[in-house]
Amino acid sequence: MIRNIEDLIKKIKKSRRKNKKKSYTSFLLKSGLKRCIKKFNEESKEFSSSLYDSKKKIIHEAADMLYHFFVVLEYSKIKYNDIINELDKRSKFSGFEEKKKRSLKLKI
């Protein structure tokens, strides 16, 4: 049962070792980064479109997008806590300041 993000991440990690003919997650992870990205992009477009639809449709598409987001992170060996830590660092100043800092770094 999935009760939080950590449960979803554990399920995805565990599915990596399963038979790709029996586990869609395993199939995706063993199909390579391009396949994982393609599915995430498809799901994010479906989520964006669902925002004009019913609440039920938005929830359904949000679940699909989150699942594929965490599959891409698992493939890339990126830890959820690393993302949370990055968000925590950014919370110490406004988003406008963060964007300004980033654009200055790109110009150098």
Where would I find the H helices in 32-54? 33-50
Q: What is the pLDDT along the chain (108 residues), one digit of tens a residue?
A: 899 999 999 999 999 989 999 999 999 999 999 999 999 999 999 999 999 999 999 999 999 999 999 999 999 999 999 999 999 988 888 878 777 777 777 665
Where on the phi/psi map is residue 104: left (φ > 0), alpha (ψ -120 to 50), or beta? Answer: alpha
Task: Give me the domains of the chain, ranges plus CATH numbers.
Answer: 5-77 (1.10.287.1080)
Would you state the pLDDT for residue 108?
59
